[in-house]
Amino acid sequence: MTGSTSQEPSSQCDSNLPNRLFATDQYPRGRLNIYSRPDILSFIRKVFYGTKKLDFILQSCFGPLFHLPVSRCAMSGKLMHALLCRQLVTKKKYELWTVFGGYPLRFSLPEFACVTGLPCGEFSEDYDPDDDAVYVVGMKSYWDKLIGPDKTVTLGDVSDMLTNKRKTLSSDHRLKLAFLLIVDGVLIASNQIGRPTFKYVEMLADMDKFLSFPWGRESFLKTVVGMRPDKRNLGKSTGKRQLTTNPIKSLVSQLQQKTFRLKGFP
């Protein structure tokens, strides 16, 4: 996060800063539903402990995640909710600015890259981050080979596949399942009951391409979109009518609810 150059912190409203979502004495209280499961990293370390495959994982693009002191950095939902409510209304689509102790703080891709150590380079020209490809009945897919015919499996089922001693899987197969757990369970978590994402499963058909993908950028975009006013659908037509919902008012309303959902890797 980037601080201002002001010498003295102040809880007073700074007229030089943009407007805030809430007045300084009107912050709502609520709790967060966060679906990311960093403890999956500990599970993977335990499953592959003492093997060369663990060394491979630690030397991959996901390796820096295993060095995060998650056991000593308990997630504070109260603090995160406060930072979200204290955010400034800005035009930057992929930056979140909030105020803490009178200082403006920035959460953007450079900060995310610095903390996580994940690759955050540009996407290839043929990749669309908003494309949510799904399984089509009758279509040949890598899903069938990696997971099986069941399209309703959960990440819990994938974890069981790694620990089921009665089911013999090749070391490469188990490695790919571990990478899938990291991506869908830690970096791109979007539901309370985690499930594999079809397009990420298909990407695992080419391991080298999968590991060279900018997972930091992908995770950051999935994370920050849920923290800021969502202007993606503003003005888009939905059949008979056009969406006119004010994205700022919509976020304010959501933060005033008893619970607020955060996707990605907050």
210-249 pLDDT tens trace: 999 999 999 999 999 889 887 665 444 445 444 457 888 9
Highest mean pLDDT among 139-153, 196-210, 250-264: 196-210
DSSP state of 67: G
Q: To 5 degrees, how large is the angle CA 59–CA 60–CA 65?
A: 90
Indicate whether 153 belongs to any domain: yes
Indicate whether 5 belongs to any domain: no
241 Cβ contact partners less than 8 Å away, ≥ 6 residues apart: none
Indicate whether 208 belongs to any domain: yes
Q: What is the pLDDT of residue 13?
A: 54
Indicate whether 19 belongs to any domain: no
Indicate whether 91 belongs to any domain: yes
Q: What is the pLDDT of residues 154-171, one digit of tens each?
A: 999 999 999 987 778 999
Indicate whether 118 belongs to any domain: yes
Q: What is the pLDDT of residues 128-147, one digit of tens each?
A: 888 887 777 777 899 999 99
Q: Chain-wide mean pLDDT for the chain?
A: 86
Provide the residue range defining the domain that includes 245: 31-233+240-262
Q: What is the pLDDT of residues 34-63, one digit of tens each?
A: 899 999 999 999 999 999 999 999 999 999
Q: What is the pLDDT of residue 157?
A: 96
Indicate whether 8 belongs to any domain: no
Q: What is the pLDDT of residues 86-103, one digit of tens each?
A: 999 988 889 999 998 888
The pLDDT of residue 11 is above 90: no
Structural domain count, the chain = 1
Indicate whether 21 belongs to any domain: no
Q: What is the pLDDT of residue 231?
A: 67
Q: What is the pLDDT of residue 125?
A: 92
Percent of the chain with pLDDT over 90: 53
Q: What is the pLDDT of residue 30?
A: 82
The pLDDT of residue 12 is above 90: no
6/33: higher pLDDT: 33
CB 21 within 8 A of CB 97: no
The pLDDT of residue 177 is above 70: yes
Q: What is the pLDDT of residue 235?
A: 47
CB 17 within 8 A of CB 4: no
pLDDT band at 9 (very low <50, low <70, confident <90, very high): very low
Q: What is the pLDDT of residue 237?
A: 45
DSSP state of 186: I
127/236: higher pLDDT: 127
CB 201 within 8 A of CB 147: yes
Q: What is the pLDDT of residue 4?
A: 41
